[in-house]
Amino acid sequence: MMTYREMTDNVLRRAKEYEEKRRRRRNMLLAALPVVCVCLAAAALLWRGSAVSEQTPDAALSGQPQVVQPSGGEEMKGASAHGGGISIPAIELPEPREGVAYDMIGLVVYKGGIYTQAESYYGEEAEAMQSLVGERLGRASGSIDEWSTQDEYAEEFASTYEGDVYSVKGYDEDFRLCVCQYIESDGGRMRWIQFLERMNGIELTCGADLFEDRLRIGGRISSVQYQSHEDWNMGRNAFYDLEDMQALEPFLAELDAGEFENLWLTDRDFYRSGANAHLYLRLEDGTTVELRLAEGGYAGYQHLGWYFVKMPGAAFDAVFEACR
């Protein structure tokens, strides 16, 4: 049985390897995971099944941990799509399945909520963002691994990390927390700030519920870049400044007003068809919000997987074409 320190070192090593792959994709955003869209997820973990036919696309090339989708025509438990928005189910412990191997990602339990691995910032980026680190809330136990039981998941500050957990200044505690560490790198010790976000057990009606109420992008965008889907998918470090900044304001207005849809319930070929592009909104506090744009007028927060805002029309088309 591994010690807490050994488990933490293992998680940090895996996180660092993953983030290094993501750094090749972009120089401003380090992202983690298309978050909880399905029933097969641990009460404090998201998992990947190696023998499941339906997966978020581009997994092999992007190196992203994938959320398992139900197979055999199952519906996503609790993930309703209804008039006026969507309900994202709370994470649940998956039932063991023969022939399926699972991997876990970073998480922490706080006030009964499951906060999963989101953006990571290293080195100079992390040092510049130190002012965002807020009140110390407690200490992550590092007690969670692949063999943890449901009872262990229910403990306050149960986590895959071992270290102090903080609030993030400017963001609500029921949405975003962070863990701060120093990790070993080739150049010595390097600061690492890991954001964790609660994106399950919530309801989203329109885009503003996420992009304004939680991410608070309005009036705080300092720069915008984009990347083609091919470059994103192949991990190429190819980013371009958005030239048509006048098109951004009506786009953001439509993004906030548009309703969320659960595309897993309505179009399971969504990720396999149509063109995509990636838009990066750098905020004044140094954080970055990655949007995935899909042909037909869909915009999604990269960590939300199958949940997209539907926003067809000229405002979307202008930005989408500028990003390709």
297 has pLDDT over 70: yes
Instruction: Decide if pLDDT at 52 tops 50.
Output: no
pLDDT at 290 over 90: yes
The pLDDT of 23-49, averaged and rounded, is 31
Place of tokens 């190696």: 50
Query: Using 50, 70 and 90 to split pLDDT, how confident is the model at 138?
Result: very high
- Residues 157 and 140: beta-carbon distance below 8 Å: yes
| Rounded distance between C-alpha atoms, residue 280 and residue 301, angstroms | 10
**Confidence band of 9 (pLDDT split at 50, 70, 90):** low
pLDDT in tens, 186-212: 778 889 999 999 999 999 999 999 999
**Per-residue pLDDT at 58:** 36
Give mean pLDDT, residues 138-150: 75
Identify the DSSP state of 311: -
Q: Which of 117, 271, 277, 299 is nearest to 208 (CA)?
A: 299
pLDDT digits 0-9 by tens, 55-76: 343 332 222 333 333 333 334 4
**Type and span of the H or E element at 23:** helix 4-25
Cβ-count burial 292-310 (b if 16+ within 10 Å, e if not): bbbebbbbbbbbbbbbbbb
Structure token digits, residue 110? 């706080």
Phi, psi (rounded to 5 degrees) for 316: -65, -50
pLDDT tier for residue 162 given thresholds of 50, 70 and 90 = confident
